[in-house]
Amino acid sequence: MRISGGDYKRRRFQIPKTFEARPTTDFAKENLFNILMNLIDFRSGIKALDLFAGAGGISAELVSRGCSLVISIEKQKAHHDFIRKVMKELKVENNIAIRRDAIQFIKRTREQFDFIFADPPYDFKDLSSIPDLIFEHNLLTPNALFVLEHGKNNNFDNHLYFKEKRIYGSVHFTFFQIKEEE
């Protein structure tokens, strides 16, 4: 896993071969953050949520780019422990790794976030319900952005809060945002 930008650019962490996670490819991650850097000023006190955090690659990018707080939600113990290890090696204190089921977290938290990223397994049975859950549980601050990573079998173009879609190989990113007039 490589951090592609920010304070910890080019730092690498070896993901254990036993991990079941499918990390976002470097190509897709770099392109995603090229877009995000034009939409979000991460150094302006942004509070971010990384759902289905896996090995923590997106969380590390968010911390590196200056988010004031990044909460990483991952239910697999080994993955959760790896995220904590990476953040400890980076000597950062603005990451909270929580070992919990992402859907349960969405349903129970009362916090709001300026940016949310979710990367569930592409075959996750409730993947298509994640955007609705985010909005039903009011997890976004006004004008906040939610990005869902998914495979080609999901299409959210007709979702009420659909903003845009970007495709990088087999990786699809769908952006959601409450429109300003609402």
Per-residue confidence of the chain (182 residues) as pLDDT tens digits?
899 999 999 999 988 888 876 778 889 999 999 999 999 999 999 999 999 999 999 999 999 999 999 999 999 999 999 999 999 999 999 999 999 999 999 999 999 999 999 999 999 999 999 999 999 999 999 999 999 999 999 999 999 999 999 999 999 999 999 876 54
Q: Identify the CA nearest to 122 among candidates 55, 77, 173.
A: 173
d(CA 150, CA 32): 13
Residue 12 DSSP class: B
Contacts of 118 (CB under 8 A, 6+ apart): 50, 51, 52, 102, 130, 134, 146, 147, 148, 149
Amino acid at 76: Q
Domains, in order of start, for the chain: 29-176 (3.40.50.150)
For the entire predicted model, the pTM comes to: 0.95
Total Cβ atoms within 10 A of residue 106:
20
SS3 state at 45: coil
DSSP result, 61-73: HHHHTT-SEEEEE
